[in-house]
Every structure is written in structure tokens, then in C-alpha cells.
Amino acid sequence: MKCFRILVLPGDGIGPEIMREATKILLAAGKRHCVEFDIVEAAVGGASIDEHGVPLTDEVLRMALDSDAVLLGAVGGPKWESLDYGVRPERALLRLRKELGLFANLRPAKVYSPLVDSSTLKREVVEGVDLIVVRELTGGLYFGTPRGVERLPDGTERGVNTLVYTTPEIERIARVAFDVARKRNKRLTSVDKANVLETTELWRKVVTDVSQYYPDVELSHMYVDNCAMQLVRDPAQFDVIVTENTFGDILSDEAAMLTGSIGMLPSASLGRDSRAMYEPIHGSAPDIAGRDVANPIATILSVAMMLKYSFDMQGASAEIEKAVEVVLEKGYRTPDIYTKGTRRIGCSEMGNIILDELEAVAI
């Protein structure tokens, strides 16, 4: 029997409760397909700060490097917000991304038809939306140097962050995006601010150069401000969007809301040597933590992405997606996606119902 080692990092806030549901689904999917998942759990983010004084210990980083895939919940919360940037919970995420070389972040935003009325946008705008944001994850403003805040002789301060990309960094993310587009509707929109920022002018040039290897994929370019507007004006026009780290952070939150709730969106972060981490794109939601009202679907769909991208288990992945769809069709909703006439349930019940459904779908 195949056996994969999974490092599970529940993190903070709603992290532990959504992760409980997601690991149930992972184990059940493994059982159905005769694959064993050896799950090792560790603290990350605020939980790790409380226990070890740092958001990510070297030991947990080593465990991540030694595992076949990492599944992460969410990190952060008001308790740790006053800490120095260098030791905040979010640093754990950034260090994991960097050390594992996870440069490609795939964030699909799909509107499930039973949820069209959960979106804050009109039904006719969001109906049929099925796009994916490919966000560069280990470069740009997040990691560029020089960075920091310095005190000037006149007593004022000066803050600096650097938007930097090299040709190889742009090339490799462009290739991932073209490959993704090739398996979908073959339309790729590269998002930049080439009218103002030199770095993204280079971005546009390199993406255009890479496009010659993908004559079957239709490439277009869009400025980021226009893209932000188009995402709420006519989101169905998009198939695959590729963009740099910060733009991708912002646009993927915006894309998430098309689907009704940020609680629905999974993500995959992929690197070299088949390294990968999977996580919901939402945060730790400390305001609702521990009340059994969080939506576990983003994390459950992240498990589906893990099966597809890390373990080539397309069938098992599709079954989980199907189970989620059926449960939504049956009218079950966590509070974030609740609309009148549907059945409001909690986090653990949602997990259990999806599990039952998964067990019922035919292989």
C-alpha cells in the first residue's frame, strides 16, 4: 500500500477546527483508494509562539521538508499583533513558502450554482464564474530587499520595500500559468502595472516571451487596477490570471468573494522537487474561533487539491469536490454562506455531512 507523510499545521483561530474536519476527509479518501496517509501534527504561527517563542521552529521546518505535503490551517490573531514583524505568526507562512521554494500559488475561484445567491454581487454577474489566480509566491514586495523602516537625521522615518523580479523567476511562474491554462480553457491574462512600474514591464516582456512555447494558449495583458474592476464587472471573462505576489494577494481575496464566501476557497502552493503546501486562503478568523461556526469547505477543498497535485489521485480529488457540491445542493450551509430557506449548520456537522456524502459517492 502506498504511504504518504503529511505534515498538518492547524495554526490559530479557526485553524484547529477546520483542520479536524479536513483530516477526516483526507483519511477517508485514502481508505477508499488504498493509500495510507501518515499524519504528523505540529504547532505553527501564534500557537508556536506561545509554546516555543517563535512562529516556526527549525524542527517543524525540517518536518515540512521531510514530508510529502503540508496542510496548513491559518495563522495569526490579535493576541500576537503587537509583536515585532520578525516574530509575528505570519512569518511562519512566509518562511515555509521561502524555504520550501513554493513559488507558484494556485487559487481557484469557482461559483457553485447552489451558492450564486450567497454572493454580494448579482446572480447574473457571478453565474458560471470558474477562474484560477496563479500568484507568484516567493518574490516581489514580500521578499525584496532593501526593506525596513529607518530613522532619518531630522527625526522622521523612512519605510522601504522593494518590488523585485528576475527573468528566471518570471519565466517559471509564467510556465506554470500556461500549463494550467492549457488544461483549462486556454486563456491566460497576465496582470501587471507596466504603465508605471519597470519591474512589471519586465514581467510583461518575459511572459510574452514564454508565450511562444504555448501557441495554443491565448495570452492577454491587463493592468492591475483594471483587473480589480473587471473582476467585479464581468468575472466570467477570466480563465487563468497570472500575477506577481502582492497583486495576487489582493486579487485573490477579491475573486474569493465572487463565490459567496472566502470560506470556500482552497489553494495549492507548489515548488521544485514536488514540494507542496495546501491551505485555505482565508485567515484565522479569531472572532468566530472555537464556536463551531467556521466553514471547513476551503480546507476540505485544499485536501482535494493535494490529492490532485501531489499524489496524482484525480479520482479521489473529484469525489471530494463532488461530495461538497452535493452537500451544497442539498441546502446545507455554514453561517457565512447561509441564505433564507437553506439549512444552517456548524463546522463539525458540515465536515460530517461531507464525509457521509463522500462515502456514498460511487467510485
Minimum CB separation from Mg ion for residue 252, in Å?
Answer: 7
Q: Is 12 in the site for Mg ion (CB under 5 A)?
A: no
Minimum CB separation from ligand IPM for residue 254, in Å?
Answer: 12
**Chain position carrying cell 527625526:** 155
**Residues classed as catalytic:** 142, 193, 225, 249, 253
Binding track, positions 238-257, relative to ligand IPM; x by CB under 6 A:
-----------x--------
Minimum CB separation from ligand IPM for residue 283, in Å?
Answer: 6
Residue nearest to ligand IPM as judged by C-beta position: 90
Q: Is 244 in the site for Mg ion (CB under 5 A)?
A: no
Phi first, then psi, for residue 190 (nearest 5°) are -95, 125
Minimum CB separation from ligand IPM for residue 134, in Å?
Answer: 14
Phi first, then psi, for residue 31 (nearest 5°) are -60, -45
Binding residues among 281-300 for ligand IPM as defined by CB under 6 A: 281
Helix (H) or strand (E) holding 359: helix 347-360
- 319-323 contacts, C-beta under 8 A, 24 or more apart: 319/29, 319/32, 319/358, 319/361, 319/363, 320/25, 320/29, 320/354, 320/358, 322/361, 323/354, 323/355, 323/357, 323/358, 323/361
Asked if residue 131 lies in contact with residue 108, where contact means CB atoms within 8 angstroms, the answer is yes
Binding residues among 73-132 for ligand IPM as defined by CB under 6 A: 90, 93
Q: Is 279 in the site for Mg ion (CB under 5 A)?
A: no
Of positions 17, 169, 249, 319, contacts Mg ion by CB under 5 A? 249
Q: Is 207 in the site for ligand IPM (CB under 6 A)?
A: no
Asked if residue 171 lies in contact with residue 200, where contact means CB atoms within 8 angstroms, the answer is no
Minimum CB separation from ligand IPM for residue 249, in Å?
Answer: 5
DSSP letters spanning 300-326: HHHHHHHHHHTT--HHHHHHHHHHHHH
Binding partner selected for residue 100 from Mg ion, ligand IPM, none, CB under the kind-specific 5 to 8 Å limit: none
Minimum CB separation from ligand IPM for residue 94, in Å?
Answer: 6
Q: How many CA atoms lie within 13 A of 65 on its CB side?
A: 12
- Number of residues binding to ligand IPM, judged by CB under 6 A: 4
Task: Quote the cell numbers at residue 186.
Answer: 486556454
Binding partner selected for residue 307 from Mg ion, ligand IPM, none, CB under the kind-specific 5 to 8 Å limit: none
Task: Quote the cell numbers at residue 355.
Answer: 464525509
In the chain, helix, strand, coil percent, each to 5? 50, 20, 30
Q: Is 319 in the site for Mg ion (CB under 5 A)?
A: no
Closer of 114 and 280 to ligand IPM (Cβ): 280
Closer of 90 and 171 to ligand IPM (Cβ): 90
Binding partner selected for residue 357 from ligand IPM, Mg ion, none, CB under the kind-specific 5 to 8 Å limit: none
Beta-carbon neighbour count of residue 90 at 10 Å? 15
Q: Is 357 in the site for ligand IPM (CB under 6 A)?
A: no
Task: Give the β-pairing of 2-11 and 35-41.
Answer: parallel
Beta-carbon neighbour count of residue 170 at 10 Å? 25
Task: Catalog residues that contact ligand IPM under the rule CB under 6 A.
Answer: 90, 93, 249, 281
Task: Catalog residues that contact Mg ion under the rule CB under 5 A.
Answer: 249
